[in-house]
A and B are shown apart, each in its own frame.
Chain A
């Protein structure tokens, strides 16, 4: 074949194109999958992830189901496998369901980490664990003791008496209480079925049945505003304190009014940031199984337990800082 000017031109163009492509490939592509992409919780995770991606100079793809849909999560992972991303970070809606797709990704040489909600251990290299049950229990109990100066009656409102995570938290809270705060007294544990209205009724009954009650600890998220509304309606703001595990947005009003003292959760932005950092480190091979710590640019030295990267102690939202958080 004769080398016409046109062919030469085409060849040159192809060469240029190829070199730009490989330049683009040298930028790591991190794909992040939330349980649901419209949810305020994950939107705020993404804000942290975006910052990490900027700081580390990687490309971030963020996609997820609009509702919490396990099948849709699988579909998105399959697409990313076809696309050939470098590393996938997943908050699993369904532990078993997503694991098959993730194993397939790993076979194709794509690194996988999980965050927020874990998949099967063999389907990912690390899980970025936002809070251990112990961390949650200790933070809540210590905060209760701080507010009551270590003595007085308190009660717990939880979702149900049978939910595994609720039972575990309750037991760890009681353990901490017995070990460290003998002058405090747990007078009742009441379930609210995850209903704010029922939590309010329970809190009302608790206050009248236990006139010396000083604090209500709500360990499922709807119970925190429910208990706060009960305290407010009873005119006991400040006399009966409310603390709990929940979202800042659902409790802002009560925290600012001084009804609720502390809402405990983790900083979702930090969770997003750390997840991307860990994902990039795994993809670059700087974070390997067996590591005991991980240096985060933003959060300092992060502890690793087994294959769990621990975000650290939960964060306490109070009157002073709650306006900075919008999830």
Chain B
């Protein structure tokens, strides 16, 4: 697709719009990393979009009430971790299906936020946008941090025991338990991490503009789940890696702007996204039939 763009719409490759695109998608990448871990551990979390909104509004309100960014950032991460812990406790503790639990928290958090804010924006004080830095340093910082986090998590998944545990829980929880891993604790911690990463991502989004829209993050869960699946992480758990999730997000994030450059009507965007996801799942199916038992 990138070749196609290079030929038909070279204007796509201008530094400013690309940096802007990368900055806009950096928070999504952070959430996608978390989602990859959740899916590898054979769970799913569809409440991340609502968590993202709640963390963003909380961070915005704290910043607006005069909290310094150094305190707002940990607060946003903690809020996310707390929301993740609620999911994790219900899923790992009571053994409830994650799709049902996170569906419930998704709706509850979203409606709660609507009730509290009535769609009203949070206006941020000066000095919050770009962490008070210049626009280009702020953008560089956000993108750089997201990439660093991706690399760190990807390496951890491969080389640290914790990473291998997550794979083990996802491929066969019972075997993992017999091997001395505590799958329930593992699952709980994965959800806490998911929430913390979502809180972090929300903060990375808040600092990109002078106001917070409570609706921001709506539909985020679909985007990151799609990115992770397109990136070759098996929805049935146990296999896949973060590089794949990154590639998946790269592809999905470029579609919108690419279609604008290729002068394609907006009607097609979601259809094409859907087709790509379908293609990825089909490829996954064929691959697992070949290598399967």
Point out residues on A near B: beta carbons under 8 Å: 36, 38-40, 67-68, 161, 188-191, 193-197, 200-202, 204-209, 211, 222, 225, 229-230, 233-235, 249-250, 253
Contact = CB atoms under 8 A, between A and B. Distances in A.
Interface in B106-122: 114-115, 118, 120-121
B260 interface: yes
Contact of B20 (A195, A225, A234): A234
Interface residues of B, number: 32
A194 B11 contact: no
B20 A193 contact: no
A223 to B, nearest CB: 11
11 contacts: A188-B263, A194-B215, A196-B209, A197-B205, A204-B17, A208-B257, A208-B261, A209-B12, A225-B121, A234-B16, A235-B16
A247 to B, nearest CB: 9
A40 B120 CA distance: 9
Given A188-B260, A193-B219, A195-B218, A208 B266 contact: no
A36 B118 contact: yes
A38 B213 CA distance: 18
B19 to A, nearest CB: 9
A79 to B, nearest CB: 22
Given A208-B14, A250-B211, 20 more contacts: A67-B115, A67-B118, A68-B118, A161-B267, A193-B219, A195-B213, A195-B215, A195-B218, A197-B24, A197-B213, A204-B21, A205-B17, A208-B257, A209-B9, A209-B257, A225-B121, A225-B209, A225-B211, A234-B16, A253-B123
Nearest to A68: B118
B60 to A, nearest CB: 13
Contacts of B215: 194-196, 222
Given A189-B266, A253-B210, A211 B11 contact: yes
B273 interface: no
Contacts of B9: 209
Nearest to B25: A201
Nearest to A190: B266
B209 A229 contact: yes
Interface in B181-234: 205, 209-211, 213, 215-216, 218-219
Given A68-B118, A209-B11, A233-B135, A222 B213 contact: yes
B256 interface: yes
- Please indicate which of the listed interface residues B14, B213, B256, B263 has the most CB atoms of chain A within 10 Å of its own CB: B213
A201 B118 contact: no
A46 B135 CA distance: 40
A68 B115 CA distance: 8
B216 A38 contact: no
A208 B17 contact: yes
A253 B129 CA distance: 13
Contacts of B210: 229, 253
Interface string B107-150: 00000001100101101000000000001000000000000000
A2 B198 CA distance: 84
Nearest to A235: B16
Nearest to B257: A205
Nearest to A40: B120
A93 B70 CA distance: 42
A205 B267 CA distance: 16
Contacts of B261: 205, 208-209
Nearest to B213: A196
A63 B24 CA distance: 41
B256 A205 contact: yes
Contact of A205 (B121, B205, B216, B260): B260
A191 to B, nearest CB: 5
B32 to A, nearest CB: 16
B24 A200 contact: yes
A275 B248 CA distance: 54
